[in-house]
A and B are shown apart, each in its own frame.
Chain A
Amino acid sequence: MIKVDVAVIGGGPAGLAAALSARENGAEKVLIIERDARLGGILSQCIHNGFGLHMFNEELTGPEYADRYIRRVEQSDIEVMLNTMVLEVTRSKTIHCINSDRGYITVEAGALILAMGCRERTRGALNIAGDRPSGVYTAGSAQYMVNMQNFMPGRKVVILGSGDIGLIMARRMTWEGAEVKMVCELMNYSAGLNRNIAQCLVDYDIPLKFNHTVVKIHGRSRLEGVTIAKVDEKLKPIKESFEYVECDTLLLSVGLIPENELTDNLQVDMNPVTKGAVVDETRQTSLEGVFACGNVLHVHDLVDNVSKEADIAGRNAAQYLKNSIERTREIKVKSGENIRYTLPNYIRTDIDKLDIYYRVTKTIKPAVVDVYADGVKLKSKKLLVLNPGEMETINIDIPVDAREISVEARENI
């Protein structure tokens, strides 16, 4: 049995920053439990640039961004257990895990930080009909094969979904000599960054087909082709538009889901929209002493925001150990019109200022965001555009007697 002050599950960007922040804020014994052979999480395989503009004011690749934190962890006395899978977490913050060096390990933690990240949606979740050949991969799996394993998945590629990983993989596969035939996107907008569309698709004349999806998979052994279709306003495939496209590889970049399997054991309140835990401004879940940050809490578009969020969770985990998180109230933060979700979901301590993170349900251009406290407008902010793919923040002053805060977005007419 190992006893620690703060146990962090996951050694990706969230876990690294949370552990450092917990340690720097006074937690003495901090442990990171990581299932992979190295720290860094998904950043290890994201070898493209574009990370860290907000955090470091420079443009880093994924491994470089991770390295900034890994170095600091290595220089600290934070303990790291690699190749270690957590099997179960209990409500009393006992962690059962296993690794090949030490076998079964039980860890008892004063505070627990959930930083398990997320996973990709699969073909099954999309309910695509057809055969079940090899050659159908999530974009992230293909990225792992290419960048970590030195494997080339295939040669003729169709990509479904225009998430950033899919766009990045389009360029990566092209550079490696594959023919990327097209990217199909169900919606009429892309969840990916304009920059990635320009530099990964437009540069290589790869068509981005909006309102298109894959309806059938062909190939009894290896993938031989897919049937694509245009969809109508209700996102239903239009029969007359069916078109066969020959390919040996289909990459799916159709969304990420927080990896909350362990969280389920803890029976904390979950947010059905984010598929992550419900948290307050300290990033504490409904179970005291259990914090969550990064993609396990809600899927982020920028790693810089993950690091910021993890910093909050780590700092508060350290505060929790000192008994200095005082829950004096419960203000609910609600998602109003056109807001998909906000974070945090509650305000419980005596703070007077707060950054509310939010995501909109649709593109609004130009936009106004209004924040209300019990129906009274607190703040308005004008923005050139609000995209569902991008998380935004708004800073507010919290009225002392507020009971409910609500965020709304609308077109700025």
Chain B
Amino acid sequence: MIYDVAVIGAGVSGGSAAMELSKYNLKVVILEKALDAAMGATKANSGIVHAGYDCEPGTLMAKLNVEGSAMMEKLCENLKVPYERCGSFVVGFDDDDKKKIEELYQRGIENGVENMEIIDGEEARKIERHLSHDVKWALYAKTAGIVSPYELAIAMCDNAVENGAEIMLDFEVTSIEKKGNFIISSPGKSIEARYVVNAAGIYADKISKIAGAEEFEILPRRGEYILFDKKAESKVSTVIFQTPSKMGKGVLTAPTVHGNMFIGPDAQDMDDKEDKSTTIEGLNYIKEMAARSVTKIDYSRIITQFSGLRAVYSGKKDFYIKNSDMLPGFVNVAGICSPGLSASPAIGVMVRELLQKAGLEMKENKNYNPVRNVPKPFSEMNEEEINEAYQNDSKYGRIICRCETVTEAEIVAAIHSNVPALTVDSIKRRTRGTSGRCQGGFCGPRILEILSRELNKEPNEIVKSDKNAYIVDSRLREDKHND
């Protein structure tokens, strides 16, 4: 089998590209080194759909942000991905900040952002009652929203597979050779494709290099976050930025689409592309910074803390999305840091256009279905809907995760979905199981049993996230005599 296009990386960029390409009569394969989609920069970021006032006018970032953000609502509706247009503030504390806010406003106008206004602190507090009293000015952007980034990437991959694409998990690309077609290999396996899309996130530089395409550098920039319980009293309802600095958009306080609140991220340039640990200093810093924007953060309601690595292009501050001049048929989609998530729907379209420019012919796939056929989460069903779901599958009657009300039926469905959930964390990202306030204390061991049963694996072969993240060491008592 020779694929038309191999997409390396199943994050929002790769997922968007694959989904866009599945609208055409192409054989597409997504190659992902992890055991799930969305495991890189997509997994741990702020989940903000930016209005688009922040980017330098004339950059790809500015263009794709505004385009992507405009596409997001409809896309999420089709893909059944939680999205909410909650609006955002950039808050300022003094005259200097006000100047910056005015600059942002002007930039927004240039970038074509609609529905922005500059308001004073008092007016802002009427909209967001948790804003600190030190806030003097705010840029209010009503088009900004929030989305679940990992669910978006998984849904885009899922939709691509539903429409004919394939996904290969646990496929870590170690070599790319061009012999007419591209031969792309992972230890013990290889595939052949006519075109390659390099959406390898933090490792896009490495992939471009081993393929023999342009050499550039992607720097990992870590951001730490603290996530709060749904019942935290200081829960905000809008995204609150501070005026931006050199290192990024500053520490923000924002709601999540699942009704939680988070604070973060900080910005640390790293040497290690695998270091997603949180630090005492980092966590303290974001607490300190967040306290400037909002009043009374309820630290007794912390659920968890995590960090993510942004993939930052070392050259000019912009995305690096282009056809390779050195290696025809190879498209680099690199440096997709913020506002990459907001831009992602538009990134897929741009990749498709680049492939067409590179000579890939494509005809529309008449059977393409943009709507993802997934049942409503149990937690959102009413009595009637629950009864109906239960009649079809009695596993809807067994709640596994009590904090987030997730049923066995949903967990089993996730395991056997287009992008199969092979790990406990994969189930979390699809169903929310283990993500609540008990953090899997109750349901974790039960999900382990379900995974073991459905995947027909020994319990010690079931992992939390990657291949070495085993959950149990062994059975306590082995059955010695098999009679």
Direct contact of A and B (CB under 8 A): yes
Tell me the bound Cα distance from A140 to B424 in angstroms.
19
A85-B444 in contact (CB<8A): no
Residues of B within 8 Å of A261, CB to CB, are 402-403
In the bound complex, residues from chain A placing their C-beta under 8 Å from that of B306 are 132
In the assembled complex, B74 has its CB within 8 A of some CB on chain A: no
Knowing A100-B397, A124-B305, A151-B475, the reply to whether A222 touches B470 (Cβ < 8 A) is yes
Contacts of B120 in A (CB 8 A): none
- CB of B395 within 8 Å of the partner chain: yes
The answer for the CA separation of A151 and B465 in the assembled complex, in Å, is: 19
Contact of B475 among A122, A127, A150 (CB under 8 A): A150
Q: Assess whether B399 is interfacial by the CB under 8 Å rule.
A: yes
**Which residues of A sit under 8 angstroms from B300, Cβ to Cβ?**
125
**Chain A residues whose CB sits within 8 angstroms of the CB of B106 once the complex forms:** none
- Cβ of A389 within 8 Å of any chain B Cβ, yes or no, is no
Structural contact, A103 and B439, CB atoms closer than 8 A: no
Tell me the bound Cα distance from A155 to B472 in angstroms.
10
B277: CB under 8 A from chain A?
Answer: yes
Pairwise interchain contact A145-B445, C-beta atoms closer than 8 A: yes
Q: Does B100 contact A (CB under 8 A)?
A: no
Chain B binding surface SS class: mixed
The yes or no answer to A189 lying at the interface (CB within 8 A) is no
Q: Which residues of A contact B477 (CB under 8 A)?
A: 150
Among B231, B444, B472, B477: residue with most chain A CB under 10 A: B472
20 A/B residue pairs, CB under 8 Å, sorted by A: A96-B383, A98-B399, A99-B398, A100-B397, A102-B397, A119-B442, A127-B302, A129-B279, A131-B276, A132-B465, A133-B464, A134-B469, A151-B448, A152-B474, A154-B472, A176-B476, A217-B277, A222-B468, A261-B403, A264-B231
The verdict on A367 contacting chain B, using a C-beta distance below 8 Å, is no
B270 within 8 A of A: no
A138 at the interface (CB under 8 A from B): yes
Q: How many residues of B contact A (CB 8 A)?
A: 60
Docked CA distance A4–B291 (Å): 50
Question: Which chain B residue lies CB-closest to A218?
Answer: B277
A35 at the interface (CB under 8 A from B): yes
Interface string of A66-92 (1 = CB under 8 A from B): 000000000000000001010100000
Instruction: Indicate whether A151 sits within 8 Å of B304 (C-beta atoms), given known contacts A96-B383, A216-B280.
Output: no
Enumerate chain A residues within 8 angstroms of B448, measured Cβ to Cβ. 149, 151
Contact pattern, B 381-407, Cβ under 8 Å of A = 1, otherwise 0? 001001100110011111100110100
Q: Top 8 nearest A-B pairs by Cβ distance?
A: A100-B397, A221-B468, A124-B304, A134-B464, A85-B399, A103-B390, A151-B472, A221-B469
CA distance A261 to B379 in the complex (A): 14
A220-B278 in contact (CB<8A): no
Asked whether A120 is an interface residue with its Cβ less than 8 Å from the other chain, the reply is yes
Residues on A close to B: CB < 8 A?
Answer: 35, 83, 85, 87, 96, 98-104, 119-120, 122-125, 127, 129-135, 137-138, 140-141, 144-146, 149-155, 176, 215-218, 220-222, 237, 248, 261, 264
Measured CA separation A35–B391 after assembly (Å): 20
Indicate whether A140 sits within 8 Å of B441 (C-beta atoms), given known contacts A98-B397, A101-B397. Answer: yes
- Tell me whether B439 and A123 are in contact (CB under 8 A): yes
With the chains together, A130 CA to B226 CA distance in Å? 13
- Interfacial chain A residues near B280, Cβ < 8 Å: 129, 215-216, 237
Expressed in whole angstroms, the Cα–Cα distance for A141 and B471 within the complex equals 12
- Contacts A104-B386, A104-B387, A152-B473; A141 near B444 (Cβ below 8 A): yes
Smallest CB separation, B192 vs chain A (Å): 31
If A99-B397, A149-B449, A216-B280 touch, whether A141 touches B387 (CB-CB below 8 Å) is: no
- A-side contacts of B405, CB under 8 Å: 85, 87
A123 touches B304 (CB 8 A): yes
A11 nearest CB across to chain B (Å): 15
Q: Which residue of A lies closest to B299 (CB)?
A: A127
B297 within 8 A of A: no
Contact of A129 among B274, B277, B391, B395 (CB under 8 A): B277
B394 x A100 contact (CB < 8 A) = yes
Contact of B438 among A119, A151, A217, A218 (CB under 8 A): A119
Contacts of B282 in A (CB 8 A): 129
* Residues of chain A lying within 8 A (CB to CB) of residue B469: 133-134, 221-222
Q: Is B104 an interface residue (CB 8 A)?
A: no
A103 partner residues in chain B, CB cutoff 8 A: 386-387, 390-391, 394, 396-397
Closest residue of chain B to A249 (Cβ to Cβ) is B473
Instruction: Report chain A residues within 8 Å CB of B403.
Output: 261
A124-B439, A221-B469 given as contacts; is B463 within 8 A of A134 (CB)? yes
Take A124-B302, A124-B304, A129-B278 as given contacts and tell me if A138 and B475 are in contact as well, using a CB distance cutoff of 8 Å.
Answer: no
Cα separation A138 to B397 with both chains bound (whole Å): 27
Q: Which residues of A contact B451 (CB under 8 A)?
A: none
B476 touches A152 (CB 8 A): yes
The answer to whether A120 and B277 have CB atoms under 8 Å apart is no
The residues in B between 109 and 157 inclusive whose CB is less than 8 angstroms from any CB of A are none
- Given A87-B405, A151-B476, A154-B473, output 13 extra A-B contacts at Cβ < 8 Å: A35-B402, A98-B397, A119-B441, A124-B227, A130-B278, A130-B279, A133-B464, A134-B424, A134-B470, A135-B471, A151-B445, A221-B463, A261-B402
B467 at interface by CB-CB < 8 Å: yes
Chain A residues within 8 Å of B399, by CB: 35, 85, 87, 98
Q: Which of A104, A145, A220 is within 8 Å of B472, CB to CB?
A: A145
In the complex, B161 has a CB within 8 A of chain A? no
B459 and A151 within 8 A (CB): yes
B445 touches A149 (CB 8 A): yes
Nearest CB in chain B to that of A148: its residue: B445
One digit per residue, 1 when the CB lies within 8 angstroms of any chain A CB and 0 when it does not, for chain B 252-275 equals: 000000000000000000000010
Most chain B beta carbons < 10 A, residue from A146, A218, A220, A264: A220
B 226-269 binary contact with A (CB < 8 Å = 1; else 0): 11000100000000000000000000000000000000000000
For residue B102, CB closer than 8 A to chain A, the reply is: no
B290 at the interface (CB under 8 A from A): no
In the complex the two chains form, is A120's CB within 8 Å of B438's CB? Answer: yes
**CA distance in complex: A119, B403 (Å):** 11
Cα A41 to Cα B351 in complex, Å, equals 55
A141 touches B445 (CB 8 A): yes
In the complex, B283 has a CB within 8 A of chain A: yes
Docked complex Cα distance between A237 and B402 (Å): 34
Interface centre among B402, B439, B441, B468 (most CB of A within 10 A): B441
- Closest-CB distance, B111 to chain A (whole angstroms): 36
Rounded to whole angstroms, the CA-CA distance of A146 and B463 in the bound complex is 17
The distance from the CB of B475 to the nearest CB of chain A, in whole angstroms, is: 5
Is B303 an interface position by the 8 A CB rule? yes
Distance between A143 CB and nearest chain B CB, rounded to angstroms: 10
Inter-chain contact A134/B302, CB cutoff 8 Å: no
- B441-458 CB contact bits vs A (8 Å, 1 = yes)? 110110011000000000
CB-nearest residue of chain A relative to B228?
A: A124
Q: In this assembly, does B97 line the interface, its C-beta being within 8 Å of a C-beta of chain A?
A: no
Residue of A132, A138, A150 with most partner-chain B CB within 10 A = A132
In whole angstroms, what is the CA distance A62 to B278 when docked? Answer: 39
Residues of B within 8 A of A96 (CB): 383
Residues on B with beta carbons closer than 8 Å to the beta carbon of A150: 475-477
- CA A104 to CA B384, docked complex, whole Å: 9
Given A96-B383, A129-B278, A140-B441, answer yes or no on A152-B472 (Cβ-Cβ < 8 Å). Answer: yes
Nearest Cβ on chain A to B329's Cβ, whole angstroms: 34
The interface residues of chain B lying within 8 Å CB-to-CB of A154 are 472-473
Nearest-CB distance from B410 to chain A (Å)? 13
Q: Among B300, B306, B396, B469, find the residue whose CB has the most chain A CB atoms closer than 10 A.
A: B469
Distance between Cα atoms of A87 and B440 in the complex (Å): 18
Query: Is B466 an interface residue, CB under 8 A from the partner?
Result: yes
Q: Find chain A residues with CB under 8 A from B408 CB.
A: 100
Complex alpha-carbon distance, A124 and B302, angstroms: 6
Please give me the residue from chain A that is nearest to B442 by CB atom: A119
User: Could you say which residues of chain A place their CB within 8 Å of the CB of B471?
Assistant: 134-135, 153
Q: With A122-B441, A127-B302, A129-B278 as known contacts, state yes or no: A104 contacts B383, CB within 8 Å.
A: yes
Bound Cα distance A96, B381 (Å): 13
* B463 partner residues in chain A, CB cutoff 8 A: 134, 221
Contacts of A152 in B (CB 8 A): 472-476
